Amino acid sequence: MIVAANFKMHKTRKETIKYLKELKRMDFKDVEVRVFPPFSALIEDELIGAQNAYPAINGAYTGEIGLEQLNEFNIKTLLIGHSERRHILGETQEFIAEKFNFYKQNGFRIFYCVGEPLEVRKKGIEAVVDYIKKQFEGIDLNYENLVIAYEPVWAIGTGVSASSEEIKETHREIKKLTKAPIIYGGSVKLNNIKEILEIENVDGVLVGSASLDVDVFRQMIEIAKEKK
Ligand code: PEP
């Protein structure tokens, strides 16, 4: 099982260090735990991944960080294609694939996010699969260090998670395309994580707002530890 926390633009460096200290007081057993803090809170720790990075070692890319900056903290995990970057920051599939390929070449563990907006979900599973397939353009689904995060746009930060049936059918379809673990994200909370982890082909969760409280996140990991 994989349990990952996406802090988005929350927490300072000081708060992140305190959070990690608290978090590491527990035994994760077989659960792979990852924390994605903002750039300013990147620290050298095997749990830490970056929410974004530019596909270059360094260069004239104002406002970005690249491989050189990640290497300083020995960061080897990266989130790519989050819906907030696709829809708010306007990242294209072509650019996302460029990032993927650059960081793949550098051996990163890549958490690659896909997910459909509400108007697509309303059309049914075939439309959802077509949409997600476009988000896989230029992405090597056989990459051995890949984790897919299925995150329906309409479920992120809304408090409305996808239903078990929707998660099940979508993960089943993605599983036909890749052997990579598939985690679910979108309003995962303490009161629904157990049910979500029980769904077939769900290999973990990516948690946004509920992960900000370290006690809640620890309890989520405890629940994941009961799963194989
Ligand atoms: C996310 O941003 O990846 C996410 C799943 O957010 P939330 O849990 O807040 O819906």
Q: What is the pLDDT of residues 165-191, one digit of tens each?
A: 999 999 999 999 999 999 999 999 999
Decide if pLDDT at 64 tops 80. yes
Tell me if residue 10 is catalytic. no
Beta carbons of 140 and 100 less than 8 angstroms apart:
yes
Question: Burial level of 60, CB count in 10 A (0-12/13-18/19+)?
Answer: exposed
What percent of the chain stands above pLDDT 90?
Answer: 96
Decide if pLDDT at 134 tops 90. yes
How many other C-beta atoms can be found within 10 angstroms of the C-beta atom of residue 185? Answer: 26
According to DSSP, residue 32 is labeled: E
**Which atom number of ligand 1 is nearest to the Cα of residue 82?**
3
Largest CA distance in the chain: 47
Beta carbons of 99 and 80 less than 8 angstroms apart:
yes
Q: Give the residue whose CA is nearest to atom 2 of ligand 1.
A: 208
Residue 14, pLDDT score: 98
Q: What is the mean pLDDT of the chain?
A: 97
**What is the value of pTM for the model shown?**
0.97
**Which atom number of ligand 1 is nearest to the Cα of residue 210?**
8
Cα 198 versus chain centre, distance: 19
Give which of 188, 186, 183, 219 is closest to 203, Cα–Cα.
Answer: 183
Decide if pLDDT at 228 tops 80. no
Residue 105, pLDDT score: 98
Would you say the CB of residue 206 lies under 6 angstroms from ligand 1?
Answer: yes
- Give me the domains of the chain, ranges plus CATH numbers: 2-225 (3.20.20.70)
Decide if pLDDT at 226 tops 80. yes
Residue 75, pLDDT score: 98
Sequence-distant (6+) residues with CB within 8 A of 147 are 2, 109, 110, 111, 112, 180, 181, 182, 183, 203, 204
Instruction: Please tell me which residue in 32, 84, 151, 166 is annotated as part of the active site.
Output: 151
Tell me if residue 82 is catalytic. yes
What is the average pLDDT across 103-124? 97
